[in-house]
Amino acid sequence: MERKFFGRTNLMGFILKVAGVVVIVWGFIYGVAILVEYAAEFGDISVIDALTTLFKPTLIGLLIIGFGEVIDLLQELADKGKPKDVENANTSEAPGVQGIQNVQKVYAEMEIKNYYKNKNMEVGAIHGTNKSDIFSVEVDGKTEYIELSGFKPRVLTDAEVEKLN
């Protein structure tokens, strides 16, 4: 399976990876500015001071990017472990796990219905997709895909739906 570095598996993982790149770029620019000012004021600087000033933000940024990758990998594992059809799912799991999945499903359904209720639209059926935070919703005779990973639901564009499949 081919993975893209900034492919968006999970919103939080994507945000962490972008934040890591920002930390690296900002740290490098800040480090160069400090080194130039420090060298002009105090003369020669040691190689260790220069490397520490330049590469400390780089290491911190790489750690942040790594955390984003871990979140994306965990999301992929969670998506692979889910059955394709929730209604035909195997019930051999522990009762607590099934209860948690039902609570999440009820919460997602409630959030979607409230979203469309505020827009005065009638919701027909709600189906899950291969992504845990994206749902297929039949609204007023047409099918829309809605994402629930943000602070409020967001309807996906046609281009985003193509990438989803």
Q: What is the pTM of this model?
A: 0.49
Provide the residue type at 43 as one letter: G
The pLDDT value recorded for residue 103 is 59
Q: What integer is the mean pLDDT of 159-163?
A: 82
Q: What is the pLDDT of residues 12-27, one digit of tens each?
A: 888 999 999 999 999 9
Contacts of 151 (CB under 8 A, 6+ apart): none
- The answer to whether residue 156 is domain-embedded is yes
- The answer to whether residue 5 is domain-embedded is no
Contacts of 141 (CB under 8 A, 6+ apart): 124
- The answer to whether residue 74 is domain-embedded is yes
CA quadruple 106, 112, 117, 123: dihedral sign: negative
Give residue 87's Cα distance to chain centre: 27
Structural domain range at position 16:
11-81
- The answer to whether residue 18 is domain-embedded is yes
Q: What is the pLDDT of residues 68-109, one digit of tens each?
A: 999 988 888 887 766 555 444 444 444 444 444 555 677 788
Distances (CA, A) of 106 to 35, 100, 101, 109, 146: 56, 10, 9, 5, 15
Residue 161 has pLDDT above 90, yes or no: no
Lowest mean pLDDT, pick from 72-76, 86-90, 122-126, 134-138: 86-90
Looking at the 3D structure of the chain, how many domains does it have? Answer: 2
Pairing of strands 134-139, 123-128: antiparallel
Residues 115 and 70 in one domain: no
Provide the residue type at 23 as one letter: V
